[in-house]
Amino acid sequence: MTTLKPREPYSREELAHLYPKSLKLQLVQVFLRHGERTPVSSRFQNTGLSPYWPYCGVARGMVQAATSKQDMSSWDGFQWRRKMEAFGNNDESIVAAGPGGEIEAMCQHGELTDKGRETTYALGTRLRHLYVDQLSFMPKIKTDAEDMYLRATPIPRALESLQQSFWGMYPASARTLDFPPPVIVARSVSEETLFPNEGNCRRFRQLARLFADRAAARWNDSEQMAYLNKIWSKYMPESSPKVAVDAHPRLSGIMDTVNATDAHGPATRLPSEFYDKKGRAIMDRIAVEEWFAGYNESTEYRKLGIGALMGDVVDRMVSTAVEGGWRSESSASGSGDAEAGKAIKFAMSGCHDTTLAAILSSVGGFQDESWPPFTSSVAIELFSQIPSTAADAGSMLEEFSNPPVVKKSGFLSSILGGKAAPKHPVPSATARAPLESFPEESRESMRKHYVRIRYNDRPVTIPGCATKAKNHLPGDPTFCTLDAFKSIVDKFTPKSWSVECTENLGEGPHGPNKREFSMAGF
């Protein structure tokens, strides 16, 4: 499947089951794959497939900020139209034309297309219907985005998809006239953890290649690959005539072009053999193993590939449960005093297929799954248990109504040494703290909070929670206690991602201990 076909909104009965009255929704973190895009490189021009696709009409008229005065004291929008050039037969410059001779709306490689903008905007409207209209978790009208955390990778299609989804969730009619520009958090690519960062983590790059080589050894001479060669090898280049995991183009590269062409118009289609149902199923299975099997087998693979991001995910939930709210200095639009800002209720991150599959695989929730379609999403929801007695109700009301303060005793004060809260915001005292360091009072609070993951609106069962009754909500194993969820993620959260990226270089796929990781270890 290339383009996600979203299910219908939850019915009243489904909603009552998925969001029981005994639980209160506290925090939502959504990770969304970008929408439909062009292939990341030109392939199969020998089949007549055009290297230039005319599906980027919106990008043709993008507006960029530009100075209007020499002293840069004010700014105007610089409006412009984009056209593209290409090499001619003699390397001369010619206008790039699409399959029908189009010279407008040409796309760059890997660029979000107009369809991708439509589907990510539609994702935003679905998020609004659920969290605003059905659950009343977020307000109908927004005056600012201070209770939201927006982040995207440095890759433009992820940022643009995030923007589309945000506007779908809060269109102009749902924002006040004085709504300020929302903050979108970014990172340097060298410190980016919102996708598995092979380019800036040497050890993870080694591991990825080792598992890719293993997939090639396992599948290149298989009956399944023979079938792919039977239907596709005639279209392979002379320099690499066979279809293989490690051919040129790689099998995953073929899948990239097949999926991108399948998502768009008839003018940019490959020969019909490329859409053979059996062939695509084989290709998907092999690509998923090549890219994601390491998360199931190697603690080091998941630690370096997605552990830093999952550590952040857990830190935010722990702050909400133990500290009374998660606040982010980086996403605040005011003075930067996160301590005085609103607690964040909704986070949205624009990312990639490899992000979503890694998140799910890291907790054992990607078994027998296909490659994530365009505009897929993972929602990680945190709930608190609604108290059943008047005494509990009073304590819970205090916990979630008052801003967090540093007391003379307790977990936070033990971390800070009993000192008064600093004037300027600092990282949460609970950030990256191992579970065993928490006092029993905090552990008990985390046992009364539940984590549930939904992948494309379908609840995900986490093996480490489902197998033990004490680790999940009675009667529903898809709700994992925050205590148990943190215990799982702690096992693969790196202490220093940048340092551990330079360790074990030259070791095998399972590191120096040579042992494979098993989901049963949770």
Question: Would you name the residues annotated as active-site residues?
Answer: 34, 353
**Does 249 sit behind a cis peptide bond, omega within 30 degrees of 0 on the bond before it?**
yes
Structure token pair of residue 183: 């903050």
Residues sharing a CB contact under 8 Å with residue 485, sequence separation 6 or more, in sequence order: 314, 317, 363, 451, 462, 465
**Bridge pairing between strands 93-95 and 148-152:** unpaired
- Give the phi and the psi of residue 377 in degrees, each rounded to 5: -150, 150
DSSP string, 313-367: HHHHHHHHHHSS----TTT--SSS-GGGSPPP-EEEEEE-HHHHHHHHHHTT--T
Contact 162, 184 (CB under 8 A): yes
Neighbours of 153 (CB within 10 A): 23
| Helices marked H in 405-457 | 411-416, 440-447
Residues forming a β-bridge with 313: none
Integer Cα distance of 288 and 357 in angstroms: 9
Tokens 């205590």 correspond to what residue?
483
Q: Which residue has the tokens 């999952």?
A: 310
